[in-house]
Amino acid sequence: MIFYLPLLLVVASTTLYHISQKSVSSQVNPMLSVTVNYVTALVVSLLILPFYPGNSLRGSWKNLNWPSMAVGVSIVGIELGFLVAYRAGWRISLASLIANVATALLLLVAGLFFFREHLSARSALGIALCIAGLGLVMYR
């Protein structure tokens, strides 16, 4: 069960995220909304930080590198992208699905080429089904 807890956290948080993003008032400036998101995230992170087990903060601080900054930049892109997509009329039932399948396909390529991951025949079949599903969902 402990193996699945992190993914359950991701699923629950992502669901709350999309419902919340879809519910942001169109009268709110998108960048103000993103800023409030990150002030809130900073406060929550700082409250959790002392209780999270792991390396010392001093040692961790010294070992930070560019990926941590890249994650920050990418998160702003995700937040702003979904907020603007929902305001442009994307349905909550499809925007995340299409974005996540497309992202998964790009990550597949990254995994194969940059991280030397291997692809089984069963995974290849699943990927083909994802591509077919993406085509069906996007077909109008």
pLDDT in tens, the chain (140 residues): 789 999 999 989 999 999 999 999 999 999 999 999 999 999 999 999 888 887 777 778 888 899 999 999 999 999 999 999 999 999 998 999 889 888 988 998 999 999 999 989 998 998 899 889 888 988 77
Q: What letter represents residue 105's amino acid?
A: L
Instruction: State the pTM of this model.
Output: 0.82
Comparing C-alpha atoms, which of 69, 83, 95, 70 is closest to residue 37?
A: 83
Rounded to 10 degrees, what is the CA torsion of 111, 112, 117, 118?
140
CA distance 40 to 49: 14
- pLDDT, position 72: 92
Specify the 3-state DSSP secondary structure of 54: coil
Reported residue count of the chain is 140
* pLDDT for residue 104: 87
